[in-house]
Chain A
Amino acid sequence: MGSSIPASVPADAAVSPVAGAGGRVARRTRRLALAGGGFVGVLLLVAAAAPWLAPQDPVRQSLRARLAAPTLEGADGHAHPLGTDHLGRDVLSRTIFGARVSLVVGFAAVLVGGLVGATLGIAAGYRRGWLDTAIMTVADAQLAFPFILLAIGIIAVLGPSFPTLIVVIGLSGWPGYARVLRAQVLVLRSREFVDAIHALGGSVIRIVSRHIVPNVLSSLVVIGTLELARSIVLEATLSFLGLGIQPPTPSWGGMVQEGREYLDSAWWISTFPGLVLMLTSVAVSRTGDWLRDLLDPTLRGE
């Protein structure tokens, strides 16, 4: 779904009394996207530098400072700008460390999903025939029911760990890549340059790696960015359901779950990690929308 309309449309003045608003909207979109990208960049730095940035050990408990409201002078003599949880752990420090789980799982899952989805999508579009039918039928099947149920089932079987989460979340996204890339490769493949390279004796591997992949790279980047937002949210959702990275390692979804029982008396435990998660998701998907408009406007309908 496109968020903005092409900048200069002929009937623009008739629709809107604000003439020339299109350019301003485009500029604002770009600024928002830059802000989104900047947020993600800062988050990456924060995650990388968590041990130095976090004011306290994220798993250190302190009975004296249990359920403390946001304060600069806690009962244990430390500042807790975002309060403490039911075990007296510092919410700010836990939120900072939580970024690590979200980003590591998110990026790794995008790599897994992108690799599987792109390979299968390109194979389906290039080979066509039964392989295409088989791959697309499986993709449709996976899209046909709430994936979260399957994710919960698999994680319940294999146990929650980083590799399991990454593979499960990554595989949840492959049909998205496969569908788009297949459609693009179908078009690319029928172009004359492919026949020409064939005639000159170029191998399939050469055609795909030198001529097909570079042509679909921008779509891959766009889908990957939008998938990153989805992966981060899915990881948090699984953690919220108790199937993510296990305590005491802090993760945003897990923190929202832990704070749920104390929502009435200590709202800050759930609210802060939840807000940061929401901001991250909005920032990443904004960046993705902007990349799409910039690199590949044809993807809009997807």
Chain B
Amino acid sequence: MRAVVSFLATRLARALVAVWLVSTVVFVVMRLSGDPVPLLLPPDAPRSEYARVARELGIDRPLPVQYAVFLGNALRGDFGRSIHFRQPAADVVVGYLPATAELGLTAFAVALVIAIPIGVVSAVRRNSLVDQITMAVALVGQSAPTFFVGIFLILVLSLKAGWLPTSGRGDWSNLVLPALTLGAFAMASIARLTRSALLEVLRADYVRTARAKGLRERAVVIKHALRNAAIPIVTITALQFGTLLGGAVVTETVFAWPGIGRLAIQSIYNRDYPVVQCVVFLSALLFIVINLTVELVYGVLDPRIRPR
């Protein structure tokens, strides 16, 4: 138990350092990106007005002071006021969060529901036509650029076939294409991994034993093989969830999906530092929490790799 606690403490410390490093880099980059004040004022605004807005935003102070203020406030969950939306940045980001959560979770669920059966069938019917075709598609899916997958799906399924809307957020039909686009990479990776993990397990002695005692093939695969193959699948699957965050930036832009990825890109163009910093901080935190959880779950699933 003590080993587990110290292991967790080390990981947590490194994770916190990571979040701090990331926010510092983003702070520096955003401050270098130029003055946001001219974006807020009419071109003929007097200098006094300019100085007032700069003071109001806190960007008239020296950079080290700004940095100290930023860090202190960030620790309390306060990222300052959005320059563009004129309300607390954290509130803005939280307002956009449900759309991203909806998209991310759907993409993830779709990826799992499609990928795992495909991986299982491919492994059981190894080298069959089905295996060869699905694995070739998975290979392409793994290296296809997210933005082009999106454009291609829009072209085929919404413009040519006319089945689904091209962009925006509304009912379930708006969700299909973005979810498929965002989930494509995870789907391909999970299918390939399920296949190779299952193939590995199907060679094990206990599978031979299960077969020898006359179990039906279905029972052998599902009860004995799949359960043992679950550990690597769960790990990679959960780690894929972290990389979905990066994909969301592109997918949301392609489909005009009102989530935090698109918000971040627009905020970079608007030089809206507080919002960008809040999004980055939040996604780094999420990513780290997911990774830590995976490591814990891994330990629960497989006693052999618990830290001693």
Contact = CB atoms under 8 A, between A and B. Distances in A.
Given A141-B21, A153-B26, A157-B33, A146 B148 contact: no
A139 to B, nearest CB: 10
Interface stretch (B55-63, B77-85, B283-291, B297-305): B283-291
A10 B203 contact: yes
Given A144-B288, A157-B34, A229-B143, A150 B199 contact: no
A220 to B, nearest CB: 21
Interface in B256-292: 261, 264-265, 268-269, 276, 279-280, 283-284, 287-288, 291
A1 B189 contact: yes
B139 A137 contact: no
Nearest to B30: A153
Contacts of A42: none
Contact of A145 (B140, B154, B268, B280): B280
B14 interface: yes
Interface residues of A, number: 53
B202 A11 contact: yes
Contacts, number: 153
A253 interface: yes
A227 to B, nearest CB: 13
Interface in A77-132: none
A302 to B, nearest CB: 12
A196 interface: no
B252 to A, nearest CB: 12
Contact of A237 (B25, B142, B147, B245): B147
Nearest to A139: B18
B159 interface: yes
B287 A263 contact: no
Nearest to B245: A146
A30 interface: no
Contacts of A9: 203
B32 A11 contact: no
A87 B28 CA distance: 40
A196 to B, nearest CB: 33
A6 B190 CA distance: 20
A271 interface: yes
B281 to A, nearest CB: 9
A14 interface: yes
The winner among A15, A149, A282 for most chain B CB atoms within 10 A is A149
Interface of B: 14-15, 17-19, 21-22, 25-26, 29-30, 32-34, 126-127, 135, 139-140, 142-148, 151-152, 154-155, 159-160, 189, 192-193, 196, 199-200, 202-203, 208, 211, 236, 245-246, 248-250, 253, 261, 264-265, 268-269, 276, 279-280, 283-284, 287-288, 291
Given A137-B14, A141-B17, 4 more contacts: A146-B261, A236-B147, A237-B146, A253-B147
24 contacts: A3-B135, A11-B208, A141-B22, A144-B19, A144-B22, A149-B265, A149-B279, A150-B26, A152-B268, A153-B29, A153-B30, A153-B268, A154-B29, A156-B33, A236-B148, A237-B250, A241-B250, A253-B145, A263-B151, A263-B155, A278-B143, A285-B142, A285-B143, A286-B139
Please give me the 10 A-B residue pairs with the lowest Cβ-Cβ distance, nearest first.
A146-B246, A141-B18, A145-B284, A141-B21, A274-B148, A281-B143, A11-B203, A157-B33, A153-B29, A16-B126
Interface of A: 1-3, 5, 9-11, 14-16, 18, 21, 24-25, 137-138, 140-142, 144-150, 152-154, 156-157, 229, 233, 236-237, 240-241, 253, 256, 260, 263-264, 267, 270-271, 274, 277-278, 281-282, 284-286
